[in-house]
Amino acid sequence: MSEPGRVRAAVAADAAEIVHLGALMYKAVGARPTPMWAVEATDTVRERLGDDLFGCVIDAPEGGLASCGLVNVAPRLARPGARAHHMGYIQWVSTAPQHQRKGYARAVMEALLAETDRRGIEVVELHASPAGLHLYQDLGFFVKHDNIAMTSVRVARRD
């Protein structure tokens, strides 16, 4: 644990707390995380941190985490003008209710973006809730209008 209010790199031991804050973020946008989701998500975060997933956290003075954010790093086919062949997708930027309005989400985002810059990741994407929109715009994110982002949620078959 570091000094409360100070950003540090997430480690595998933070996985359960990161998932807890991620669940709060999902609940805020109307999703219903389940206990099974929490178990699976904790295992996934624990396994992938330090590999193709990195994160930043802020310790809470009362214990646990006050704020967190993760970046999934994925290979990407080259696009014209790009030098990097990886992209970053920011997820689970979340702050515990009692620690909101202290600048923690901004500090976490700035640390995540500094790390993407250090790794040479040129394209960083995220989905924003209405509450986070202004923060992300202040940090240089913009709503794309040159194409339409689409999603298809598929049911995975388990053979």
- Per residue in 38-65, pLDDT (tens digit) is 999 999 999 999 999 999 999 999 999 9
* CA–CA gap between residue 1 and residue 111 (Å, rounded): 17
Q: Tell me the CATH number for domain 7-138.
A: 3.40.630.30
pLDDT, tens digit (0-9, with 9 covering 90-100), for 135-146: 999 999 998 888
Q: Which residues of the chain have pLDDT under 50?
A: none
* CA–CA gap between residue 91 and residue 95 (Å, rounded): 13
* CA–CA gap between residue 123 and residue 85 (Å, rounded): 9
pTM of the model: 0.89
